[in-house]
Amino acid sequence: MYRPLRDQRILLTGASSGIGWHLALQLAASGARVVATARRESRLIELASKSSSNSKTNSAICYLAGDLTSAPFRQQLIEYTVEQLGGLDILINNAGAGAIGRFCDASPTRLRSIMEIDFFAPVELTRLAVPHLQKGNRPAIMLIGSVLGHRAVPGKSEYCAAKFALRGWGEALRCELHPVGIDVIMLSPSTTQSEFFENLHDTSGKLKNKSLGSTPPATVAKIAKRALQRNSRDIILSAGGKSLVWASRFCPRILDRILWTYGQPDDPR
């Protein structure tokens, strides 16, 4: 069933750049009421100002800056959203972080920091949001995952682990929340042109991301918005991403051989 976005009350994380930035603007332009969050308040101020100047629907973006890995901030964010919007219809868990490098060369801190941001933060934010979503209009939870949550690659073990966990949790959550009318939508982009790779955790500056092309964040945001409207279930973006997943399912040994040979991270030594 089609979900109109006008007047939908939406909480969006990771809105200071990339997919989140463009998605916030596109949702507001469609008439949705958006609370945007990220750590960089200056970028959120810029986002809200841009939305107000471009909006023809009077759907300005509200914002609250903070660290999603902080339990007190997550509670504050939910309370702020409900206060500003009068309730909550859609939660979009978009914030995330990554790292590049061999697992055995990294400290335990890298794994824990990635899991905190990419898995535990969205899970616990969702836990707080569900009681409000149950009272919402056509409520939904959107998880911005990754194609690497379907097939892991070398050099990104921590990020892959977090996205696999997010997808598994999301699949279980979808079944649990169906009886109360809350939809769960999983969007799995491939490499996206954003600041993501400029802010990698515990990563040598000599290590570079290896990927076959990339997608503009505005394009990913447009697909995410359409997925909300169409109430899609699970979307894998890009031909390369789909090819990676299908190759993993039907010829895993061949794909392993390719990744052993060509997918290793560059050695900075």
| 48 Cβ contact list (under 8 Å, min separation 6) | 36, 60, 61, 62, 63
| 242 Cβ contact list (under 8 Å, min separation 6) | 236
Token pair 């949702």 is at which residue?
27
Residue 208 buriedness (CB in 10 A; 0-12 / 13-18 / 19+): middle
Is 63 a residue of the active site? no
Task: Determine contact, residues 17/215, Cβ cutoff 8 Å.
Answer: no
- At 130, the amino acid letter reads V
C-alpha pair distances (Å), 101 with each of 141, 206, 259:
31, 10, 14
Cα 188 from chain centre: 9
CA distance linking residue 82 with residue 79, whole number of Å: 5
Q: Looking at 2, 63, 80, 159, which residue is catalytic?
A: 159
Beta partners for residue 63, in sequence order? 36
DSSP state of 118: I
CA distance linking residue 106 with residue 116, whole number of Å: 16
Instruction: Indicate which residues carry an active-site annotation.
Output: 159
